[in-house]
Chain A
Amino acid sequence: MEIYKKSITELSDLLNKKTISSVEMTNYFLERIKTHDSKLNSFITINDRFALKKAAEADKKISNNEHHLLTGIPIAHKDLFSTKNILTTCGSKMLKNYKPPFDATVVKKLDDIGMVNIGKTNMDEFAMGSSNESSYFGVVKNPWNLDKVPGGSSGGSAAAVAACLSPVATGSDTGGSIRQPASFCGLTGLKPTYSSVSRYGMIAYASSLDQGGPIGKSAEDCAILYNEINGYDPNDSTSNHEQKIEKIKLNFTKENASKIRIGIPLEYFSKNLDQSISDEIFKSIDVFKKLGFKIKEISLPNHNFTIPAYYIIASAEASSNLSRYDGVKFGYRCKDPKNLEELYFKTRKEGFGKEVKKRVMIGAYALSSGYYDEYYIRALKIRRIIRDSFLAAFKDVDFIFAPTSPTTAFNIGEKTSNAVDMYLSDIYTTPVNLAGLPALSIPVGYSNNLPVGLQIIGNYFSESGILNIAHFYQKNTEWHLKVPKEFDNE
């Protein structure tokens, strides 16, 4: 039946027709995790007991006809979403035994409609990384080539969905952490408009940039999930309650396409970009042209300042957000500290990994007196310039197409010794976070047998347009249907 390949709608159909129960479906995916995850290391916690109980409840709802499209469908959550009484590690030794007493809003919303949380996925420690190599729980491997990284920081979620160990997963995107792993793993991943998805219960990395979103096989799956997780949350003061977000309907036609102007920012196709990726992107742009979209070149000036600005702002916020891990109240505590100072020093020295320590130090430095204006304030100015350049572009075009990443998935260990190289892999994704815009990555081809992602960037709250464009493309192409060979079997 090839259940692993199926979309959410198809799975829901099977449950509806009682071809298969949610318990069976859940067991099926748990079995796949057991069979395959030793190769990938995409899960930190497998949630079998809770999941089967939840699936049984879902089956009851389905037979009582009290269900939602997503009832009984398995999902995996990135391990920074708090799950009540279920280990939530954030990929860190600091929280390796931490069980939150409450659910994140995103988790709760999906739980309430009966989705089955089958496990918590691996990630870069505290979401700091672009390759999933900084996790305390080990490196995650790319299902398309086990020598390659899956991208980060939502690498576990991407690897799990790409290997069909879960039909869909949640991720979070601070500088590209949904889109880049989606791109590396041949998936569709949505980074929503900042404020549209509640951050409550999502363990913070950089509060003004963090945004939760779905990673799935298709735009359709992402849209279904996004429809459920967005919305105002009184527990998150920064969550949007001015803009009413309608449920997204994927009903796009050629007629609609002809009215849409797409901008191609020339700066995003410079020497940083692999030629083969550029080629694949332009091939896909030709497809969009054929589908009726109007394509034009645009300019997004000053985006070369994005990476330093991003790393200063994100690290500054992180240095403060991560202060609470001190061994006093929860999480890891060092053994036998002699005094308070040693409790702090040893706990944080032993509990945090290298990348986290580096960013906490960068951030503390950028905020310290005498450097604040020079670093933090200047970074904020660049942030404003980036946002304004996007808004100026959106006067001319409706959406922007860009590569998601300058390279395809790279080798494990290839960039760990060169921080700048690693940070530059976020060059096309971070501007979107600085501006707070929504963007989606979709697979549009292959380079050396590794997936290439196209990024569709829209204006604030234009998720409906973005997902419709992607869905329209996916209806006419098959890149999103491909499954890595090793995992393409029952």
Chain B
Amino acid sequence: MSDWESVIGLEIHVQLLTKSKIFSASSTSYGSNPNKQASYIDLGMPGTLPILNKSVIKKAVEFGLAINAKIAKQSIFARKNYFYPDLPKNYQISQLDHPIVEGGFVSISDKGNEKIINITRAHLEEDAGKSIHSNENNCTYIDLNRAGTPLLEIVSEPEISSAHEAVLYMKKIHKIVTFLKICDGNMQEGSFRCDANVSVRKKGENRLGTRTELKNINSFRFVEKAINYEIDRQIEILEEGKEIIQETRLYDENKNITKSMRTKEEANDYRYFPDPDLLPIDIDEEYIQDIKRTLPDMPDVKMKFYKDEYKLNDEQINIILSSFDIMQFLEKVIITTKIEPKKIVNYFISSLYIKINKENYDLNDKNIEPQEFCHIIEALESNKISKNNLKKIIDELFLKKDSVDKIIDNLSVKNGNDDKFIDDLIEEIIINNKKQVDDYKNGKTKILGFFVGQVLKKAKNYDPSLIKEKIIKALEDI
């Protein structure tokens, strides 16, 4: 066993899901041509002034309430001053002394062990633009489309003790912000990214070791790798009797190492001060209560409910709660039909869930309605269609050629429930196979398979169990 322990704190940047930027009316949509979404305000033209997009306040308050935090009665925007070409005003509007959300916590569950991670604060700020360096002509291009995109920076206490825990914590926050629909959670597009503060110390030591800050990690996998690399690097240095340098490091995902970006000596003095262009944000209790009333249940509450009321197991619950869309979809199904939740979830997992995961779809991509899924599983439960057909129905549903009712109809006709064709077929086979009928009558029940096989030869795609039932009935009747 290693006698070192690591201490980790995360700063998660959540891009808030708003139509327009935090201080201007420019669109925040991703992927348009460079600088097409940069207004005079985003460009920091002389004489322009920031105008707060009020919807970011609501989203920040929702997050604060979801993590049981204190919402500041008055919070203040401050300017963080530093020069960078993709920061048009050369200061970033952020919050320092009076963030909108203070305190709060989430719990993470590692192999059944619950652990509370406290959250220091969450504050609003504007994102910077992007610098695109070109080696071709030794140029740097600047795209300010992202400049002014609203961010909520969520800062945890240094209470995370492993890379694995860091990932669990990050996933928990991801779940909360996507459940609240305040962030689209898209990590490839940078809507959800994090910085990690990492230090190590001897077990039993109370003082924190010197920390390094890992910048801009945008996947759960890389967070784990980057932190693990950094912990090993620090332990190695300390074991050699050397000292850790307080610095900012960048994770190189290709080489799986971290590299020094700047040391503390080179660090900026941000010269924060309250932004005189913006009034303080005042939030009254009534506003908070109004938001509280409309807040959806958080994953932890849901989890308990599913366990106690629906008797679902952990694996099932994890799948339901893996995204807000899946949860909402299944809850609608559960409300609509009388089929018990456990069965619904199993049907879902074995069909739709496998399909979307295999083919990398989002549940919403194909616009499959909970109503449609209800029809399908009700048809299954009433034996209107064969359970073998479930996968096939989902495939057809994805093609979106026929309505779900038509798909079920097509399949149920051949189901043979009230089908004279099947009855006639069975009768014909019984008449033509006297010997086998006698065998059956003499107790050789295994011979049933022969009859079923004979029927299926001429009636493909029929539900064998139903045919089997029909044959038994026909044989009994002789």
Assess A238 versus B90: contact at CB under 8 Å? Given A200-B48, A323-B83, A368-B271: no
Assess A236 versus B49: contact at CB under 8 Å? Given A208-B276, A320-B81, A364-B271: yes
- Cβ A235 vs Cβ B49 within 8 A: yes
| Cα separation A199 to B279 with both chains bound (whole Å) | 14
In terms of DSSP, what is the predominant structure of the interface of chain B?
loop
Q: Which of B1-9, B37-45, B164-172, B241-249 contacts A (4 or more CB under 8 A)?
A: B37-45
- Cβ B90 vs Cβ A199 within 8 A: no
**CB-contacts of B43-60 with A (<8 A):** 43-52
- Which of chain A's residues has its CB closest to B85's CB? A328
- Cβ B51 vs Cβ A100 within 8 A: no
- Cβ B269 vs Cβ A369 within 8 A: yes
- Cβ B273 vs Cβ A101 within 8 A: no
Assess A237 versus B47: contact at CB under 8 Å? Given A102-B40, A326-B83, A329-B88: no
A324 at interface (Cβ–Cβ under 8 A)?
A: yes
- Cβ B40 vs Cβ A101 within 8 A: yes
- Cβ B269 vs Cβ A320 within 8 A: no
Count A interface residues, CB 8 Å. Answer: 42
- Cβ A367 vs Cβ B279 within 8 A: no
**CB-contacts of B268-317 with A (<8 A):** 269, 271-273, 276-279
Residue of B43, B81, B276 ringed by the most chain A CB atoms within 10 A:
B276
Q: Which residues of chain B are near A419, meaning CB under 8 Å?
A: none
Q: Which residues of chain A are near B81, meaning CB under 8 Å?
A: 319-320, 323, 367
| Cα separation A90 to B48 with both chains bound (whole Å) | 14
- The digit string for A22-53, where 1 denotes a CB below 8 A from any CB of B, is 00000000000000000000000000000000
Count B interface residues, CB 8 Å. Answer: 29
**CB-contacts of B78-127 with A (<8 A):** 79, 81, 83, 85, 88-91
- Cβ B276 vs Cβ A238 within 8 A: yes
- Which of chain B's residues has its CB closest to A126's CB? B46
A376 at interface (Cβ–Cβ under 8 A)?
A: yes
- Cβ A95 vs Cβ B83 within 8 A: no
- The digit string for A218-247, where 1 denotes a CB below 8 A from any CB of B, is 000000000000000011111000000000
B257 at interface (Cβ–Cβ under 8 A)?
A: no
- The digit string for A417-433, where 1 denotes a CB below 8 A from any CB of B, is 00000000000000000
B142 at interface (Cβ–Cβ under 8 A)?
A: yes
In terms of DSSP, what is the predominant structure of the interface of chain A?
loop
| Cα separation A234 to B41 with both chains bound (whole Å) | 13
Query: How far is the CB of A156 from the nearest CB of chain B, in Å?
Result: 18
- Cβ A340 vs Cβ B47 within 8 A: no
Q: Which residues of chain A are near B50, meaning CB under 8 Å?
A: 237
Assess A326 versus B90: contact at CB under 8 Å? Given A100-B46, A207-B277, A238-B279: yes
Q: Which residues of chain A are near B46, meaning CB under 8 Å?
A: 82, 88, 90, 95, 98, 100, 203-204, 324, 330
- Cβ B49 vs Cβ A237 within 8 A: yes
A344 at interface (Cβ–Cβ under 8 A)?
A: yes
- The digit string for A128-143, where 1 denotes a CB below 8 A from any CB of B, is 0000000000000000
| Cα separation A102 to B24 with both chains bound (whole Å) | 15
| Cα separation A364 to B45 with both chains bound (whole Å) | 21
A257 at interface (Cβ–Cβ under 8 A)?
A: no
Q: Could you say which of A237, A320, A324, A368 contacts B88, with CB atoms under 8 Å apart?
A: A324
Query: How far is the CB of B127 from the nearest CB of chain A, in Å?
Result: 17
| Cα separation A326 to B52 with both chains bound (whole Å) | 25
- Which of chain B's residues has its CB closest to A88's CB? B46
| Cα separation A208 to B83 with both chains bound (whole Å) | 22
Query: How far is the CB of A78 from the nearest CB of chain B, in Å?
Result: 12
| Cα separation A372 to B45 with both chains bound (whole Å) | 28
A317 at interface (Cβ–Cβ under 8 A)?
A: yes
Q: Which residues of chain A are near B44, meaning CB under 8 Å?
A: 324, 329
Q: Could you say which of A200, A316, A344, A369 contacts B47, with CB atoms under 8 Å apart?
A: A200
A202 at interface (Cβ–Cβ under 8 A)?
A: yes
Q: Which residues of chain B are near A317, meaning CB under 8 Å?
A: 273, 276
**24 residue pairs bridging A and B, Cβ less than 8 Å apart:** A80-B47, A82-B47, A101-B40, A101-B45, A199-B47, A200-B47, A201-B47, A235-B49, A237-B51, A238-B49, A317-B276, A319-B81, A320-B79, A320-B81, A323-B81, A323-B83, A323-B90, A323-B91, A324-B89, A330-B45, A330-B46, A364-B271, A367-B272, A372-B271
B interface vs A, CB < 8 Å? 40, 43-52, 79, 81, 83, 85, 88-91, 140, 142, 269, 271-273, 276-279
- Beyond A100-B47, A204-B277, A367-B273, list 12 extra A-B contacts (CB 8 Å): A80-B47, A95-B46, A100-B45, A202-B47, A236-B49, A237-B277, A238-B49, A324-B44, A324-B46, A324-B89, A330-B46, A364-B271
